[in-house]
């Protein structure tokens, strides 16, 4: 059996090295993507929390505004009834 030429052996070795480098880069890429996805999930969670806080704050402010309007009406009504005295 004839031995393969040296250039073939060199090519085969380079191919093996390229495959190892490809595998290393793929692993690094997958790790980076995983980290980015974790960070993205954390940021989404923070945004949802802030959104919920903002919604709660707006609801609270709206309720306060309604109560203030009701108090103003009560005060006006009270003042009107005082002015309608029999004296």
SS3 content of the chain, % helix, strand, coil (to 5): 90, 0, 10
> What does the block give as tokens for 76?
């006006």
Residues 25-67: pLDDT tens digits?
Answer: 999 999 999 999 999 999 999 999 999 999 999 999 999 999 9
Q: Strands, E, within the chain: which ranges?
A: none
3-class DSSP state for residue 49? helix
pLDDT confidence tier of residue 79, bands split at 50, 70 and 90: confident
When pLDDT is averaged across residues 71-85 and rounded to a whole number, the result is 80
R_g of the chain computed on alpha carbons: 37
Distances (CA, A) of 17 to 14, 21, 24, 64: 5, 6, 10, 70
Cα separation, 44 vs 39, whole angstroms: 9
Task: Choose between 5 and 45: higher pLDDT.
Answer: 45
């Amino acid at each position: 059996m004839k031995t393969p030429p040296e250039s073939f052996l060199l090519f085969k070795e380079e191919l093996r090295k390229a495959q190892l480098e490809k595998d290393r880069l793929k692993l690094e890429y997958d790790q980076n993507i995983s980290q980015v996805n974790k960070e993205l999930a954390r940021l989404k969670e923070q945004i949802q929390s802030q959104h919920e806080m903002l919604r709660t704050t707006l609801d609270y402010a709206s309720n306060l505004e309604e109560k203030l309007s009701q108090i103003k009406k009560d005060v006006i009504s009270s003042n009107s009834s005082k002015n309608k005295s029999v004296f």
